Structure 1
Amino acid sequence: MNRKLRIALLLNILCIICMSVFCSLSVFAQKSDSTISNVRAKKIYKTPQIKANVPTYKPRSTFGYIPYNDVTSTKTASNIKQDKILTVSKVYPNPVSDQINLILRLDRESNLSVKIMDLLGNEVVTLSNERIPSGEQTKSYTIPNRLNSGIYFLKISSGSETIVKRISVL
């Protein structure tokens, strides 16, 4: 009996040692049910190359000093603001059922064109093509019944400017 007790005790100790060794190793730990291996890929850092016919920069000065260039920009922010003649403040109601209203401002008298375009950019209907005086205007247009419900674009043009607004027709 003494011999059987020793063998059982040694087997228990051996099992405890094996369990502690195997549990401490990550190789024998439980793995996920995927076929992805744990091998890490080496990261390669590449600098993007832009291919263009741009001459290389060659400084005209010496000792790291750049010569002063007294030429400044000729177009200022005030010049850009003056070029804009059309501002659309609000398009309502959206979604539209039978009538659409526009609040817009023209800086000078010009032709105003209001068109409804489909999602592909095809002209569906022209709501207006008229000469409008300068200032803030509120315009109302009736949506034709033949227009199916869906998403359309309202294209508002005056001179060389075009503003596009998205509308939903019920």
Structure 2
Amino acid sequence: MSVFGSDQVFAQRMDSINYSMTQKKTTKVNNTPQIRTNIKSYRPYFGFIPYNTFLTSASTATSIKYDKILTVLKVYPNPVEDQINIMLRLERESLLSIKIMDLLGNEVITLANERFPSGEITKSYTFPTRLNSGIYFLRIVAGAETSVKRISVL
């Protein structure tokens, strides 16, 4: 004899169960408001742009050409012992600063800090003190432009 009192066992198929009570219809509602504006995206530029160019349009602000003031042509001899020669070109008269920096960025020697005329310039500098042998950087600044060259000292 069985537990239910008869030999028949009733089973119900899973697909015949009514799931309408347990299942909920999910509809994705996308009611996020879309704001459409005419604001240009911000693009930082580290340099001087006249304020009037921002008032006209962003397309003209990106088409402005900036002239290069400083061009370092040659730094020789490299490796250096006690004298260094620098050949450079300035597009317009500007304040020129030439410094020797160590690997940590500390200023070791200031070779020049004066106003130079435009044109090609060749200068020879003798170090006032003996530098320890190693690697240094020659930092040349003209106006807002900076050029860095690596030099080795014997």
Q: Sort the TM-score into its range (normalised by shorter chain).
A: 0.5 to 0.7
Aligned with 1:130 (options 93, 114, 122): 114
Matched, 1:121 2:121: no
Q: Which runs of 5+ in 1 are unaligned?
A: 1-56, 61-69
> TM-score, normalised to structure 2's length?
0.60
For 1:146, give the aligned amino acid.
R
1:168 maps to what in 2?
152
**CA–CA separation in structure 2 for the residues paired with 1:111 and 1:74:** 27
1:152 maps to what in 2?
136
**CA–CA separation in structure 2 for the residues paired with 1:125 and 1:91:** 16
Which deviates more from structure 2 when the two are superposed, residues 110-119 or residues 138-147?
138-147
**CA–CA separation in structure 1 for the residues paired with 2:106 and 2:80:** 19
Aligned with 1:85 (options 60, 66, 69): 69
The 5 Å alignment of 1:31-110 reads 72-76=59-63, 79-80=65-66, 82=67, 84-110=68-94
**CA–CA separation in structure 2 for the residues paired with 1:123 and 1:74:** 37
Q: Which runs of 5+ in 2 are unaligned?
A: 1-33, 38-56
**CA–CA separation in structure 2 for the residues paired with 1:147 and 1:71:** 50
For 1:104, give the aligned amino acid.
L
Query: What's the secondary structure of 1:147's corresponding residue?
Result: coil
CA RMSD of aligned residues (A): 2.1
For 2:81, give the aligned amino acid.
S
The 5 Å alignment of 1:9-28 reads none
Q: Relative contact order (C-alpha < 8 Å, sep 6+): which is higher? A: 2
Point out the structure with the larger helix share. Answer: 1
Matched-pair contact (CA < 8 Å) for 2:87–2:121: yes
Q: CA deviation at 1:75?
A: 3.5
